[in-house]
Structure 1
């Protein structure tokens, strides 16, 4: 499973490389001129495993009210465990398993989550996914309806980790509402929900009926399973 996660990350970065060069140049130019936008000055960096991690909560948990703060929560690296408090709170609010919410954050940490990088990338790919949980605009706009964050914008996600976690938790809640009470699949409910987060509700329901997973869905499932114990340990901190 660890090998599959490593291959997934290498593949993801390889797929980005040709197009992302321009985005990185935009990011570099922004920071090379003194960070006039107020974004954090640290360049996105990856750990040995390929994800931007390494600094944990020792510096203090980021503020949930980081929206519009120009990347103030990001200090050159990121690990999902530093948001354990927010994960517990938002999972409780949405009525979903906090371990699942944390596992999805680990699943989605294969790319830099520096707000400056995400905004630069968005200029090149307007359909990109934003925030710690990599959410697309259409999904966010659907999930926020009737929720306490209904007045928030999808563009707030890079700067506001708490909003990203909150939207993720409520999307998992909505996916859970679509699952039948009983399913023939050998997958657990949490595994089906993680797959639904990655592949969409239609595929999730197909998997619940016993449809075989394709290679990409299987890879995401393997990644979720490899992150499961780590996610449980993180929310217990």
Structure 2
């Protein structure tokens, strides 16, 4: 669910600063990256590893791989997840994604239906990382159910689910049948591979 932020993110930060301040095997693991560049968050307070306990608990609840959920959080940590900044961003882009897992309203409303958190609201995501992680884990669960039984592509299940998280279930199914990812989806996949080991280390032993 990544979207390039550009100048509008900085405009949102300026808006916040004016009021409250802007805070700074098919089923095997993804393939190793061809070239390695640092995808680590800029500071410890942005490192998704601090949510390791919640990631493991919510991934197990949803029946998905905790390492995949953590890797998604690393992929989505490209911008600060400050609640005030995210609310300011909404004034510029009402269709923005919110929370530490960068989830859009439509996806959140679909995934919460008939689940224990059905009464929660998408606007709560910036202030509730556990809710954001829970929704992301269940969304990955739902994406897994949409994968075709017959696949002709070279991507692992984890890679396809990450691509589905970023590009939607229709594109995920197309990738599973051999269609090549476009530039944005490929960039997301490259970052997933870069973040995979780091994500595994974050959830190991929990």
TM-score with structure 1 length normalisation? 0.76
Mapping for residues 1-237 of structure 1, pairs under 5 Å: 12=4, 15-17=5-7, 19-31=8-20, 43-45=22-24, 53-55=42-44, 77-236=45-204
Quote the offset at 1:148 in angstroms.
0.7
Cα displacement string for residues 85-122 of structure 1 (whole angstroms, at most 9, x for unaligned residues)? 00000000000000000000000000110111101111
CA distance in 2, matches of 1:111, 1:190: 23
Q: Is the contact made by 1:44 and 1:52 (CA closer than 8 Å) also made in structure 2?
A: no
3-state DSSP of counterpart to 1:212? coil
CA distance in 1, matches of 2:178, 2:11: 42
Q: Is the alpha carbon distance of 1:121 and 1:78 closer, same or farther for their aligned partners in structure 2, counting shifts above 3 Å? A: same
Quote the offset at 1:24 in angstroms.
1.8
CA distance in 1, matches of 2:20, 2:190: 37
Q: Is the contact made by 1:88 and 1:235 (CA closer than 8 Å) also made in structure 2?
A: yes
Q: Is the alpha carbon distance of 1:50 and 1:236 closer, same or farther for their aligned partners in structure 2, counting shifts above 3 Å? A: closer
CA distance in 2, matches of 1:52, 1:232: 16
Quote the offset at 1:227 in angstroms.
0.4
Q: Is the alpha carbon distance of 1:180 and 1:214 closer, same or farther for their aligned partners in structure 2, counting shifts above 3 Å? A: same
> How many pairs are equivalent?
191
Quote the offset at 1:51 in angstroms.
6.5
Q: Is the contact made by 2:58 and 2:134 (CA closer than 8 Å) also made in structure 1?
A: yes
Q: Comparing both chains, which one has the higher relative contact order based on Cα–Cα distances under 8 Å and sequence gaps of 6 or more?
A: 2
Q: Is the alpha carbon distance of 1:93 and 1:79 closer, same or farther for their aligned partners in structure 2, counting shifts above 3 Å? A: same
Quote the offset at 1:50 in angstroms.
8.2
Q: CA RMSD in A?
A: 1.9
Cα displacement string for residues 179-216 of structure 1 (whole angstroms, at most 9, x for unaligned residues)? 12331111000000000000000000000001111111
Structure number with bigger Rg: 1
Q: Is the alpha carbon distance of 1:137 and 1:205 closer, same or farther for their aligned partners in structure 2, counting shifts above 3 Å? A: same
CA distance in 1, matches of 2:10, 2:185: 28
Cα displacement string for residues 36-78 of structure 1 (whole angstroms, at most 9, x for unaligned residues)? xxxxxxx423xxx6875422xxxxxxxxxxxxxxxxxxxxx32
**What residue ranges of structure 2 are gaps of 5+ in the alignment?**
25-37
